[in-house]
């Protein structure tokens, strides 16, 4: 009986360790959201949020999104989904797994409270004249008329075109699967490749603004 139970118990413990430390860190100096973002917390500087997302959460203008001003609940859920593997990204998976539940809340609240600033952008790349209508038909209901976000979906305006296109591609090929009703899967799989890139460029050219407060 003991030999049978030990592997099962060990597997359960490892699964918990890989997805969420659950218990707060013993180091009270690493618990603040800003300090974790700047230092990486217990994961160390290699995993510091600022190394990819900028000193003020502005993103890198390429493949790392802006975090400043995004809803705290959305940010917290994404960290949880990275840790669980529902949103694939090798680095973010490790970052999220080094944080316990309390630290994820702290980091999410820190970035949500930061002022929204737009990165300097290169010359705007032309998009087809039909793109705004395509956005209104496929994205507006959940992400707002100008990509400002709604209770159903996060803000998209002003995010890097490369990042947005990659997310849509991940949805199209079912690599990302962390929305409740698989709506993004349905929307993305109905888009053509050229529409994915047009929508991404369109949204990247809209000035960002803080997300509307949750009601």
Same domain, 106 and 160: no
Q: Measure Cα distances from 131 to 16, 63, 89, 139, 197 in Å.
A: 44, 22, 29, 11, 10
The candidate with the shortest Cα–Cα distance to 80, out of 68, 65, 97, is 97
The C-alpha angle with vertex 168 and arms to 167 and 169, in degrees rounded to 5, equals 90
Q: Are 112 and 212 in contact (CB under 8 A)?
A: no
Is position 200 within any domain? yes
pLDDT in tens, 91-133: 999 999 999 999 999 999 999 999 997 676 655 678 999 999 9
Kindly state whether residues 84 and 138 are assigned to the same domain: no
> Measured between alpha carbons, how far is residue 81 from residues 12, 60, 77, 113, 132 in Å?
19, 22, 6, 22, 30
CA dihedral over 178, 75, 43, 46, signed as positive or negative: positive
Please check whether residue 153 lies inside any domain of the structure: yes
On whether both 100 and 147 belong to a single domain, the answer is no
Q: DSSP letter for 188, please.
A: H
Write the CATH number for 68. 1.10.760.10
Read off the pLDDT of each residue in 64-74 and give the average, rounded to a whole number. 96
Q: Which domain range does residue 47 map to?
A: 28-113
Sign of CA dihedral 206, 208, 133, 182: positive
Given the structure tokens 């009986």, which residue do they identify? 1
Say whether both 100 and 154 belong to one domain.
no
Considering the entire predicted model, what is its pTM?
0.82
pLDDT per residue over 71-80, tens digit each?
999 999 999 9
Residue 7 counted as domain residue:
no
């Amino acid at each position: 009986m003991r030999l049978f139970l030990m592997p099962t118990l060990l597997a359960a413990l490892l699964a918990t360790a890989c997805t969420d430390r659950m218990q707060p860190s013993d180091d009270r100096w690493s618990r603040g959201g800003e300090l974790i973002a700047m230092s990486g917390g217990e994961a160390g500087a290699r995993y510091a949020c600022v190394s990819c997302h900028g000193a003020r959460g502005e993103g890198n203008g390429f493949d790392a999104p802006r975090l400043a001003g995004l809803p705290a609940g959305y940010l917290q859920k994404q960290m949880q989904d990275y840790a669980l593997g529902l949103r694939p990204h090798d680095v973010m998976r490790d970052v999220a797994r080094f944080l316990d539940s309390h630290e994820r809340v702290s980091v999410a609240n820190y970035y949500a409270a930061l002022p929204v600033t737009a990165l300097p952008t290169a010359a705007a790349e032309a998009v087809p004249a039909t793109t705004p209508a395509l956005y209104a038909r496929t994205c507006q209901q959940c992400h707002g008329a100008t990509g400002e976000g709604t209770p159903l979906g996060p803000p998209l305006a002003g995010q890097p075109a490369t990042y947005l296109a990659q997310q849509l591609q991940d949805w199209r090929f079912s690599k990302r699967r962390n929305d409740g009703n698989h709506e993004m899967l349905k929307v993305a799989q109905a888009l053509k490749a050229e529409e994915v890139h047009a929508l991404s460029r369109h949204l990247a050219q809209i000035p960002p603004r803080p997300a509307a407060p949750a009601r």
